A and B are shown apart, each in its own frame.
Chain A
Amino acid sequence: MKIERVVVIGAGTMGSGIAQWFAQEMCFVELVDNSSDQLDRAKKSIHDSWNKLVEKEKLTSCKAEQMKKLLEFKSLDNVSKNADLVVEAIIENLDVKKDLFAKLDKHFSEHTILSSNTSSFPIHLMAEAVSTARRGNFVGLHFFNPATIMKLVEVIKGKDSDQELCHELYSWFDSKGKKPALCKDSPGFIVNRVARNFYGEPLRIVGEDDERKMREVDHILKEVGGFKMGPFELMDMIGIDVNYSVTCSVWEAYDREPRFAPHRLQKKMVEDGRFGRKTKRGYYKYD
């Protein structure tokens, strides 16, 4: 498989990280956004990150300059048509994504692989927006934040995705030092599904808004389980609102299966505006 030209759509945190990673792997990358301010911010952030690596002597200035030349910042109208791979990383709104994919399908050449970095929507629903001929070349590629550091890429095979293509993508990412995982197009894919009980079960063990107990649970899961962060401090960092929304989305997608049911404390925290670190109040206080 040859992936030399990549287009990443959406210059937010995920899109920028994904574009940066591909450029670091010496791919020619076009990072696309309809906001020039967003593109400027992404460019500054990526260039700053490379400059810091040069200062720390973790990257040569020659390589950094090479990567800067490989990464271009554009609007969709100006993007080239012959990319090998397109990664969509825009807002999590199914209608907006489908509109975008319909445009991308017309814009890019036949060989271009279209992919979505969605964490919430089934791949086959987005694939409905493209022509039947393209659907074999439509997959999910779910990166994790920060994409330059986190090694996992979930390679998601949609209903019509070409099986061989998925295996080739798996091997390609593997050859580039990522740790790909091949998975079926099902709610939460692997991580957002299996990780749900890292939050749900501690919430049930504690049962109420009791900071002392939460500290104890966090301590035990780090000390005994070897987790880098405890569930309560992690939820505070992710955002209790974000975590609750993912929980509800997976729960609904599995027809309210009890294993995924949100806990009443999560709901209460969201209703009270206690979202975690970003509101200085979550399961813990941050003054």
Chain B
Amino acid sequence: MTNVSFGDYLLNFGFGTKEEKTKILEMNPDKKVVMDLSCYDPISFYKKFPNLIGTFAALFADENKKIEVHLLEGVEDVLKKFIELGYTPVETTIVSCGFVFPRTISQIINEAYFALQEGVASREDIDRAMKFGVNYPKGPFEWAHGREMYVKTLLNELLSLTGDQRYKACPLL
């Protein structure tokens, strides 16, 4: 994890366990923290920590570095900082575990892994099918590359939050 401080604000980037994320918030009670919670439920963090004033999902960002950002306050300053750091923030009002893109893409990736596990097709053919059959900008395995742990963590979080078996991660992940 990386922390970037400016004025009263602290931006926390990167993957960490829930305990590690909690520790950052506990250790910075006087800072206005904006935290990457790509894999966790922002609502439970907002409820527990009044110093958390914003959350974002950067772990799933690709080369375009576009990220979902949800802010309770400090909007202009924080957005400016993201831009300064090379990100393109896309503001959202939807506070959902895994936001919108990470949650949707994780489920698509999970299904691609199940199809692979069942021998439906090769990784290459699954990627090719999704790109040239329904115009996805990338194939699920291309998206997943290097992010398998994030996908698995997010699915486990959604499973424990909702109890819905649809979020059960494919063992291949």
Contacts and interface: CB of A to CB of B under 8 A. Distances in A.
Interface of A: 144, 150-152, 154, 179-184, 186, 189-191, 193-198, 200-202, 205, 213, 216-217, 219-221, 223-228, 231, 258-259, 261
A201 B121 CA distance: 23
Given A189-B120, A225-B101, A194 B94 contact: no
Contact of A184 (B67, B96, B121, B166): B121
B100 A190 contact: no
Which range holds the interface residue count of chain B?
A: 35 or more
Interface in B101-152: 101, 103-105, 107-108, 110-112, 114-115, 118-122, 125-126, 128-138, 140
Contact of B135 (A180, A200, A228): A228
B165 interface: yes
Interface of B: 61-62, 64, 66-68, 90, 92-94, 96, 99-101, 103-105, 107-108, 110-112, 114-115, 118-122, 125-126, 128-138, 140, 164-166, 168
A226 B121 contact: no
A103 to B, nearest CB: 30
Given A194-B126, A225-B105, 14 more contacts: A152-B133, A179-B128, A179-B131, A181-B128, A184-B119, A194-B112, A197-B108, A198-B108, A200-B107, A205-B96, A221-B104, A224-B101, A227-B135, A258-B166
Contacts of B166: 200, 258-259, 261
Contacts of A200: 107, 166
A193 B115 contact: yes
Contact of B120 (A190, A195, A198, A225): A190
B135 A202 contact: no
Nearest first, the 8 A-B pairs at minimum CB distance are A152-B133, A197-B107, A226-B137, A181-B125, A179-B132, A152-B132, A190-B129, A181-B129
A195 B108 contact: yes
Contacts of B68: 220, 224
